[in-house]
Chain A
Amino acid sequence: MKKIGTGLCLSGLLLMSAWLTGCSNDAESSTEDGGNTTKEEVVEIKLGYYSSGSADEKVEELIQKFEEAHPNIDVTTQNAPYQQFFQKLDTQIAGNNAPDVWLSDGVLVQKYAERGAAKDLTEWIESDLNQDDYYGLDFNKGSDGKYYAVPQGIQIGALFYNKDMFDAAGVDYPDESWTWEQLKEAGAKLTLDGQDRTADDSEFDKKSVKQYGLTFFNITEGWMPVLKSFGGGVLDEDLKESLIDSEENKEAMNWIVDGMERGILTDPSDLQSFQSPMSPFPSGTAAMRIGIYARVLAANETGINYDVSVLPKGPNGDRFAPVIANSWIVNENSSDEKAEAAWEWVKYWVTEDEVQKEWAELGEAVPVKKSVANSDLFLNSGEQSINKQAFLDSFEFAGTLDTNAVWSEWLQKFNENADQVFLGETSVEDALKQADEEVQKVLDDFYE
């Protein structure tokens, strides 16, 4: 008992000292802040980004180079894991303590823009950037025609295919003449059950599929490209009206459901049998996937023999490649001085070849600067020589995921209904009608 007593006293002391040092540290740093800005006119900015594993080091390195090039700007960073980063950001915005410049997932840019957290960058972009030199500026344009963000790196969708599996099945590799129908025909030959029968075989057992034709996951790498290339989609041009309940969408959904029923496409319950829903393609369990650029990392990691092609055409010859332009956003509430320093960083990121090259070497995203993206450094980099030109060609028919201020909310409603169709619990007609109503309600609640 005596021991516990002394232990507690000691820890009490420890606590006191921790408290005191905590306070004094803080006091020191705040006087330092004040001193710097007035005397040497150094602008301090806070930069926030979400972690992407090993890429963090590279970001820090680039920031150091930036500071060397701009001695009057001092950058402090804050990062967090992807999901938590955005929770934190929302709290910080509410507490008026958000970073002066932060990296936003492309799909969330409009959320910050329409809620007044992102600064309108239109004038700066028009005066400082030659817009033709960059990919993806327009993907962040709000429906009001203004720019609220500048891309940091671009994710664009293409068709990944496993060459070994195509060879084994004796199927020709995909090319740009493919339609979704052809993809399904080839997929049927590439789908195998436990006894190695293909999906074309009348004996085919779809309960024991061991190799899928196409793995199908969620919005970007699932239904959105199909819906759009069939002429459908989710929202109208202004992104305020739902277009879900249309003939084109019905046709597209029927194509998907038919593929899932025949076992050629993975349905949501199939994906659950994998360690991760991303793993069927890199593990060599699916012959094809719709994949954004970053998926080359996992495919290279497992060492499968694969290549990429542009996504197939719809019945009317329309094509669609989904795009997510992850972007830098400048805080609307930062002082003019800080906002300008933040803009220097954004400009540095997109204009400097050096930065673009170093970032491209990581192989996480398509570079924003066209000259770098079209150089050898991007096209012929990486462990495997794959047709990266397919990603660049896809920009001609690329589009966003109908992202607006309530993207996350409407997506949830759509997915709930889509999943019910994919699992065979309801009909395509009913689900589209239901999704249309629910999505429209989300839009009306926000915009009216």
Chain B
Amino acid sequence: MFVPLLSALLNSLKSYKEYTSVPIQWIPNPFQWQNYIEVWKMTAMDTYALNSLIVTVLSVIGALLSCSMVGYAFARLQFPFKRSLFVMVLGTLMIPPVVMIIPQFIIFKHLGFLDTLVPLWIMEWLAQPFGVFLMRQAFLAIPKEFDEAAKLDGCTPFQTYWRVYLPMCKPQLATLTIFTFMTKWNEIMAPVIYLSSEDKFTLPIGILSMSGAWFGQEQYLVAAALMSLLPILLVFLFTEKYFVRGASSSGLK
């Protein structure tokens, strides 16, 4: 894992001539640190990064809330058609995203959401099946004695979910956070389809736009891609402790 990253880092510090040279020249000479500055000058990276951040943060919040609520309902509450509804939710996992593009596009067009950031995060607030499944399994693993104890203390179902169950699922919430963050941060297809004005672009479009149809100057692309990796690393570092702690303490304390 380390070697590709290192080679990307070195590539990002080369001139185009060194980048294309044969045999491969591993160590840039001199190090072109200005490539990184050039990238910022070439495109509105800050705008793109801000847009990406808005989309990603809203998506993560939406995914955490909606998936945990729906997952809790499927795991802990009793209501009619529960089983068949859950099978339907899982069934939607099997629909390839490509076939949904055009209907979704038409729906968002009628809602007036084209060329806004809304279509990019709103879907996450509607409980994506993968997250629902993940959270349901997490809630199922918790002994139902907690449920009974909470009821005795006078909790409503929502309070039980919010105060008792959710805090016990931090590892799964951390997983969902990283998963959603990564997909949304790197997503390219949906932003391209829904966004038209440049000031709404997210990072992946911005980075790809730099390359153009004819003229690569790929070293700038590599530099930009590396910079866009940073937030993912940060999120991973922040959520990592929940993985470790969570894995050892789930269930009864």
Contact = CB atoms under 8 A, between A and B. Distances in A.
A80 interface: yes
Contacts of A280: 22
B156 interface: no
Interface string A55-78: 110000000000000000000111
A84 interface: yes
Nearest to B107: A95
Interface string A338-379: 000000000000000000000000001000000000000000
Interface string A22-34: 1101110010000
Interface in A13-65: 14-15, 18-19, 22-23, 25-27, 30, 46, 50-56
What bracket does the count of chain B residues touching chain A fall in? 35 or more
B253 interface: no
Contact of B113 (A22, A27, A54): A22
Contact of B215 (A18, A27, A53, A76): A53
B95 interface: no
B193 interface: yes
B189 A302 contact: no
A243 interface: no
Interface in A90-130: 91-92, 94-95, 97, 105
Interface stretch (A271-279, A388-396, A403-411): A271-279
Contacts of A81: 192, 205, 208-209, 211
A87 B193 contact: yes
A313 B216 CA distance: 31
Contacts of A383: none
Interface residues of A, number: 61
A50 B193 CA distance: 13
Interface string A273-296: 111101110110100000000110
A5 B61 CA distance: 12
B212 A276 contact: no
B67 to A, nearest CB: 14
Contacts of B21: 283
A297 interface: yes
Interface stretch (B12-20, B84-92, B147-155): B12-20
Contact of B102 (A77, A94, A303): A94
- Between A4, A14, A80, the greatest number of chain B beta carbons within 10 A of the residue's beta carbon is seen for A80
Contact of B22 (A12, A105, A210): A210
B116 A51 contact: no
Contacts of A11: 57, 61
Contacts of A297: 214-215
A283 B58 contact: no
Contacts of A53: 42, 209-212, 214-215, 217
B144 interface: no
Interface in A248-290: 273-276, 278-280, 282-283, 285
B205 A84 contact: yes
Interface string B151-170: 00000000000110001000
A169 interface: no
Interface of A: 1, 4-5, 8, 11-12, 14-15, 18-19, 22-23, 25-27, 30, 46, 50-56, 76-85, 87-88, 91-92, 94-95, 97, 105, 210, 273-276, 278-280, 282-283, 285, 294-295, 297-298, 301-303, 364
Given A46-B196, A83-B208, A95-B102, 14 more contacts: A4-B167, A11-B61, A51-B208, A55-B212, A80-B205, A82-B213, A92-B193, A95-B105, A97-B105, A210-B23, A275-B24, A278-B216, A282-B20, A283-B22
Interface of B: 11, 16-17, 19-24, 42, 54, 57-58, 61-62, 65, 101-102, 105-106, 109, 112-114, 116-118, 125, 162-163, 167, 188-189, 192-193, 196-198, 205, 208-218
